[in-house]
Structure 1
Amino acid sequence: METATPDTASPETASQLAVRLSKASCKKFYDVYNAFDWPERLQEGAWCMPPELISLYGTPMWETLDEATRHKLSLHEVANMFSLVLQGERILVQGLAHRLYSTSNNREITEYLHHFLDEENKHMVMFGEFCHRYIGKVYPEKKLPIPKEMDRGQEEVVFFSMAMVVEELGDFYNVLIGRDERCDPLVREINKVHHIDEARHLAFGRLYLAELFERYSPSWSPEKLASFQEWLAAFLKACWADYYNPSVYRDAGIADAYDVRQAALAHPATVAHRQRGAEKIVGYFLKTGLLAEQPAW
């Protein structure tokens, strides 16, 4: 008697995933200009960044701050987080537009990049609106290192690696803030909306970046691969360091902002926080071979 051979489904490709994500983006399409109610003032007594996520939490400096300063720092820290993601997405929008209808993208991926780009633009609108309304500015872009000489395909791998880092770190905060009832309702809603969109972006990015790395990295020299892995670890570390912003500390009324930053970055409590926040992205980078070892925080 002949036995049936069970079907073995092939792994989903980035192109196939892009089709599903495009449909989801169409279904969840929204008008960012009418999606939020913008109160004149944020809710009195509410946190913007939960205290456990504030960059100074767990350090000796935190213990010296009164409650009013902690809440002011909370507002500026969430504005800094929004600014960091906004500035990262600004670069991402430029790169996505450049990649539309390029020879490296098929029709399905190009269609999804249109949605990707549209949603990133919306995120910049909502983050920029929050920052201008409630602290009067967007914190400026920080210059982060980019490899100078790249082998075939490395520019694509670098671009999508950068996107993954910016989005994964931001999403770590989005999830925790969005479900924290101590936080201002508008702040929670912005984080929830961003997370919903980013869940699709990250799903696509993980699969597409892995495909790109698998396609191109075998042709890189061992030295070039090692150089890329060193750059990625340094980029991840630099992105985390931007969450410890001396301008934020000054705006909250904290003196000796640069010294405070250096002490905070070195404190075991904040090192542990960064390890937790980057656990998912580092695990992905190690699994795919994009990183060779755990970064030193």
Structure 2
Amino acid sequence: MTSPHLAARGVRLRSAIEAMSGTVDRLTEQSRVKYSNPYAALSWPDAVDPEADWFFTPELLSPAGTAVMERLSDRQSRVLAFHESANFFSLNIHGEKSLMEGLAKRLYRSDLVDISDYLHHFLDEENKHSVYFGGFCRRYATLYRSRHVPFQEGPDRAVADFLFFAKALIFEEHADRYNVIQGRDDRLHPLARFINQAHHADETRHLVFNRAIVDALWQTDAPDWDDRQRAEIRARLGQFFVATWREYYNPDVYAASGLDDPWQVAEDAWAHPRQRRQRREMSDKCLRFFLSHGILTEEPADAF
């Protein structure tokens, strides 16, 4: 039997979702119109040459600006960029796996039924992205492991819903910034550009939806949370910012690229002022959303 508190929360949430119905309807229609078949949209090359082509924008490499990069030849830099690309695609595979699991759990839930049509498109598009990312890693590189330990959902449905969509927004905002830059970078191999462009084409809709649902959930539930709960939620979001960024500095990538002392490379790159500024710039739009809506009250300092 549903508790009175949960029932009341459901009423408030349905009202908040109703307020975003125009946005959801528009996104659903756009997904139908812009649907693409990932098995027909791309012809995979038989092979690629990591030493000859760029697969990741050089300025976005995780050790960019550090002494390590100064010691690398152009060929070595391209090899590193290839492995950084495989790591970026791997991060997206791991992130989208968790995202798809969370979306599937919320399909046709009574208080979310009004967004079920769009959640179907969201799920379908995330699976399509995994076809691209997994296709690259499986054919040419490797699927890098994730060291990120996922947060376990607690028994409070409202907190679990909010954290799920808020973390999805953080993860996708950061990935999309890389997609936008790399999709426009004519130096990259056409395959790398295509995958980044294809991901961004769908992510523009996902980000609009995520911002709307995060705002709706915050407006619905935050007034019921006490100071301790809000502080815990903000702390977990700050931790997720750090954990998300940390995975871009992968010692396994540096080892595969032939760099000595890969763990030290990761720590030096993480702490380098150039990289701290770059993370802050790449997070800017996401941070402004969370700060302007009062969800965060300060930047997660450890991330930058």
TM-score (norm 2): 0.90
Alignment of 1:245-264 (within 5 A): 245-264=250-269
Hey, what's the Cα distance between the residues in 2 that align with 1:160 and 1:185? 32
Q: CA deviation at 1:123?
A: 0.5
Q: 1:154 aligns with which of 159, 169, 175?
A: 159
- 2:233 corresponding residue in structure 1: 228
- 1:28 corresponding residue in structure 2: 34
SS in structure 1 at match of 2:112: coil
Hey, what's the Cα distance between the residues in 2 that align with 1:148 and 1:130? 32
Q: CA deviation at 1:237?
A: 1.1
- 2:106 corresponding residue in structure 1: 99
Q: Which amino acid aligns with 1:205?
A: N
Query: Larger % of helix: which?
Result: 2
Q: 2:183 aligns with which of 168, 171, 178?
A: 178
Counterpart check, 1:115 vs 2:92: no
Work out whether residues 107 and 113 of structure 2, in 8 Å CA contact, stay in contact via their aligned partners in 1. no
SS in structure 2 at match of 1:236: helix
Hey, what's the Cα distance between the residues in 2 that align with 1:273 and 1:237? 14
Deviation string, structure 1 residues 105-132 (Cα, Å, up to 9, x no partner)? 133x110000000000001111000011
SS in structure 2 at match of 1:142: coil
Q: Which amino acid aligns with 1:183?
A: L
- 1:38 corresponding residue in structure 2: 44
Structure 2 unmatched ranges of 5 or more: 1-17
- 2:132 corresponding residue in structure 1: 126
Work out whether residues 47 and 140 of structure 2, in 8 Å CA contact, stay in contact via their aligned partners in 1. yes
Alignment of 1:63-78 (within 5 A): 63-78=70-85
- 2:13 corresponding residue in structure 1: none
Q: Which amino acid aligns with 2:92?
A: V
Alignment of 1:192-203 (within 5 A): 192-203=197-208
- 2:217 corresponding residue in structure 1: 212
The number of residue pairs the alignment matches comes to: 285
Q: Which amino acid aligns with 1:14?
A: M
Hey, what's the Cα distance between the residues in 1 that align with 2:136 and 2:41? 13
Q: CA deviation at 1:145?
A: 4.9
- 1:3 corresponding residue in structure 2: none
- 2:8 corresponding residue in structure 1: none
Residues 121/148 of structure 1: CA separation in 2 closer, same or farther (3 Å cut)? closer
SS in structure 1 at match of 2:173: helix
Hey, what's the Cα distance between the residues in 2 that align with 1:183 and 1:295? 32
Hey, what's the Cα distance between the residues in 1 that align with 2:204 and 2:190? 21
Q: CA deviation at 1:142?
A: 2.7
SS in structure 2 at match of 1:106: helix
Hey, what's the Cα distance between the residues in 2 that align with 1:49 and 1:37? 20
Q: 1:239 aligns with which of 244, 251, 262?
A: 244
Q: Which amino acid aligns with 1:166?
A: F
Residues 49/250 of structure 1: CA separation in 2 closer, same or farther (3 Å cut)? same
SS in structure 2 at match of 1:173: helix
Hey, what's the Cα distance between the residues in 1 that align with 2:29 and 2:43? 27
Deviation string, structure 1 residues 200-249 (Cα, Å, up to 9, x no partner)? 00001001110001100111110110111011011111100100000000
- 1:59 corresponding residue in structure 2: 66
- 1:272 corresponding residue in structure 2: 277
Hey, what's the Cα distance between the residues in 1 that align with 2:99 and 2:165? 9
Q: CA deviation at 1:149?
A: 4.5
Hey, what's the Cα distance between the residues in 2 that align with 1:187 and 1:85? 14
Hey, what's the Cα distance between the residues in 1 that align with 2:98 and 2:106? 13
TM-score (norm 1): 0.92
Counterpart check, 1:169 vs 2:174: yes
Counterpart check, 1:139 vs 2:147: no
- 1:8 corresponding residue in structure 2: none
